Amino acid sequence: MTEAIVLDEQATVLAFLADMADGRAEDAVAAFADDVVYTNVGLATLRGRDRAGRVIRLLARPGLGFGVEVTSIASDGAVVLTERIDELRVGPLAVRFWVCGRFDVRDGRIAVWRDYFDNLDIAKGVLRGVLALAIPAAQRKMTPLQR
């Protein structure tokens, strides 16, 4: 596999995550293959662009939101692995937690998106987010993705 193809696959994933973080739901959904398989391990698997797209569109609604900081990214062929800090927002509450993601890119589209996370880390993220409502310095600013 050439380096240019690997970088294109990583760029596909990074553009998808940036679109989600910027609230560009339709652009993010367009990155999915028609038969995408989206799994948050431990939760139900969603199959197909329409079903997976509902989650993306939900996060782009007013009062809700998504943020992401990619701490590392690697690829092997069509498989792109990310280690990230994800942020889910509900009103002023921002919950941040560690996520490891696997993306399989096929023909320039995301065919598999599988995220792994730690429920204890999510619980700590909720506590930090609640604390930050009263003391904003309790939660550092995220480093946004560069496009």
**Structural domains of the chain in order of their starting residue, each with its CATH number:** 3-138 (3.10.450.50)
Is 107 known to be catalytic?
no
The closest of 93, 143, 144 to 122, measured between CA atoms, is 93
Q: What's the confidence (pLDDT) of residue 2? A: 43
The least confident of 3-7, 86-90, 108-112 is: 3-7
Q: Which of 8, 76, 86, 104 is catalytic?
A: 86
Percent of the chain whose pLDDT exceeds 70? 94
Q: Which of 50, 115, 118, 121 is catalytic?
A: 115
Across all residues in the chain, what is the average pLDDT?
Answer: 92
Q: Which two tokens stand for residue 134?
A: 């009263």
Comparing 108 with 7, which gets the higher pLDDT? 108
Can you tell me which residue has the tokens 């987010």?
129
Spatial distance between the Cα atoms of 107 and 10, rounded to a whole number of angstroms? 13
Is 22 known to be catalytic?
no
Asked whether the beta carbons of 122 and 86 are under 8 A apart, the reply is no
Strand 32-40 vs strand 109-117: parallel, antiparallel, or unpaired?
Answer: parallel
Q: What's the confidence (pLDDT) of residue 74? A: 96
